[in-house]
């Protein structure tokens, strides 16, 4: 195994994916520090004693250091992984501004798009990277996560001053965290990470899938599989696919090999019993990520005078039935 680095990774947003990464990094010898939002969340974490991740029959429990913005840090934060909800990006990061190195390396691992641009404006000297994952995980409770499926995580550079083909050393260390082929059920959570020289493409592909599935399952309050033959939802799914593909084509994004509709239907079948994150947020009374997903597509379509009427209707419906 490659020797882990001496510097710590700070994780902001310790939900399902943040907890999964905290566990995986810690088990591979990385130093991990959790950045929590306030004293109440810190007290909750201290009461639980750590982060639990269940994967199959394996239970991982790690005790990572946890801080709140009022804590004094001896050194600047130089390596930051952000896994909070897209709409909370600046709100979650800026309380740590005084502790962040100006040239910090920041990886955004979130749904939706548009957050990196806003963060770069707020932190112009920061080195920002974007990541997108097909890992599946859901929260049983605070700092208690179930890994629902193993996927792949792509990481690529976002900041204009970074070279897309050049893999920085701190990313090379992450790429060394590879699953073994033997006894995977008896191992702590592992990550399958790869560098992508054009991160915009996989990000758009995931955005496209989320844009045609998540909002509709929240609107119709249904599990993924129920959307396939839903009398109102299925025609809207098809319309959203057409609109999204039109926007992607104008932006020069490579289309999905099987097309968006076939890909979406395949994913709906594979995850038939799952509830989308947007449906879960809506049912829990939390804000949804529709602004960073469907509304982002509307904004990009407007640059080319594309109406995106289906996406606009989705946003209106969600604002009516869910927390905005």
The CATH number of whichever domain residue 229 belongs to comes to 1.10.1040.10
Structure tokens at 57: 């029959």
- Coil/strand/helix, residue 71: coil
Residue 26: inside a domain, yes or no? yes
DSSP β-bridge partners for residue 139: 145
Residue 249: inside a domain, yes or no? yes
User: What's the domain range around 21?
Assistant: 8-197
CATH of the domain at 157: 3.40.50.720
- Give dist(CA 70, CA 55) in Å, integer: 34
pLDDT tens profile 39-67:
999 999 999 999 999 998 889 999 999 99
The reply to whether 185 and 211 lie within a common domain is no
Structure tokens at 320: 């009516």
Residue 3: inside a domain, yes or no? no
The reply to whether 127 and 151 lie within a common domain is yes
- Give dist(CA 311, CA 211) in Å, integer: 8
At 217, the pLDDT band (50, 70, 90 cuts) reads very high
The reply to whether 156 and 238 lie within a common domain is no
pLDDT tens profile 134-151:
998 888 899 999 998 888
The reply to whether 193 and 235 lie within a common domain is no
Query: Lowest mean pLDDT: which of 2-16, 288-302, 304-318?
Result: 2-16
The reply to whether 65 and 183 lie within a common domain is yes
The reply to whether 111 and 215 lie within a common domain is no
Residue 2: inside a domain, yes or no? no
The reply to whether 90 and 181 lie within a common domain is yes
- Give dist(CA 18, CA 16) in Å, integer: 6
Residue 1: inside a domain, yes or no? no
Residue 278: inside a domain, yes or no? yes
Catalytic residue, from 206, 262, 275, 312: name it: 206
Residue that terminates a domain, selected from 197, 218, 248: 197
Residue 300: inside a domain, yes or no? yes
The reply to whether 88 and 184 lie within a common domain is yes
At 160, the pLDDT band (50, 70, 90 cuts) reads very high
Whether pLDDT at 255 is above 70: yes
Q: Residue 264 is inside which H or E element, if any?
A: helix 260-270
The reply to whether 189 and 61 lie within a common domain is yes
Residue that terminates a domain, selected from 147, 178, 197: 197
- Coil/strand/helix, residue 243: helix
- Give dist(CA 49, CA 281) in Å, integer: 26
Residue 121: inside a domain, yes or no? yes
Percent of the chain's residues with pLDDT above 90:
82
Which pLDDT does position 285 carry in this prediction?
A: 92
Residue whose entry in the numeric block shows the structure tokens 């499926």 = 149
Nearest 10 degrees: Cα torsion 301, 294, 212, 242: -10
- Give dist(CA 196, CA 132) in Å, integer: 10
Residue whose entry in the numeric block shows the structure tokens 């927390």 = 323
The reply to whether 172 and 216 lie within a common domain is no
The total number of structural domains in the chain stands at: 2
* 206 catalytically annotated: yes
Residues with Cβ within 8 Å of 10's Cβ and at least 6 positions away in sequence, in order, are 32, 33, 34, 35, 77, 79, 80, 81
The reply to whether 193 and 206 lie within a common domain is no
The reply to whether 174 and 221 lie within a common domain is no
């Amino acid at each position: 195994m490659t020797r882990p680095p001496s510097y710590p990774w700070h994780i902001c947003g310790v939900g399902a994916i943040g907890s999964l990464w905290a566990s995986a990094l810690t088990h591979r010898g990385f130093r991990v520090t959790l950045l929590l939002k306030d004293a109440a969340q810190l007290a909750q974490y201290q009461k639980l004693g750590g982060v639990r991740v269940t994967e199959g029959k394996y239970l991982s429990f790690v005790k990572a250091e946890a801080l709140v913005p009022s804590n004094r840090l001896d050194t600047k934060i130089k390596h930051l992984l952000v896994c909070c909800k897209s709409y909370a990006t600046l709100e979650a990061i800026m309380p740590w501004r005084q502790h962040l190195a100006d040239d910090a390396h920041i990886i955004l691992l979130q749904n939706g798009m548009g957050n990196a641009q806003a963060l770069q404006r707020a932190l112009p000297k920061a080195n920002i990277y974007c990541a997108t994952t097909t890992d599946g995980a859901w929260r049983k409770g605070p700092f208690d996560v179930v890994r629902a499926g193993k996927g792949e995580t792509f990481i690529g550079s976002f900041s204009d001053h970074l070279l897309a083909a050049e893999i920085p050393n701190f990313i090379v260390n992450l790429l060394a965290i590879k699953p073994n082929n033997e006894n995977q059920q008896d191992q702590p959570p592992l990550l399958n990470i790869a560098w992508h020289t054009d991160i915009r493409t996989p990000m758009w592909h995931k955005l496209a899938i989320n844009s045609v599935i998540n909002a509709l399952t929240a609107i119709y309050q249904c599990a993924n599989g129920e959307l396939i033959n839903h009398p109102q939802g299925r025609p809207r799914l098809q319309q959203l696919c057409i609109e999204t593909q039109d926007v992607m084509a104008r932006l020069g994004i490579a289309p999905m090999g099987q097309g968006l509709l076939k890909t979406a239907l395949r994913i709906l079948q594979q995850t038939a019993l799952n509830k989308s994150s947007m449906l879960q947020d809506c049912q829990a009374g939390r804000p949804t990520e529709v602004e960073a997903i469907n509304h982002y597509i509307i904004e990009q379509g407007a640059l080319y005078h594309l109406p995106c009427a289906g996406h606009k209707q989705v946003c209106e419906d969600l604002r009516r039935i869910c927390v905005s």
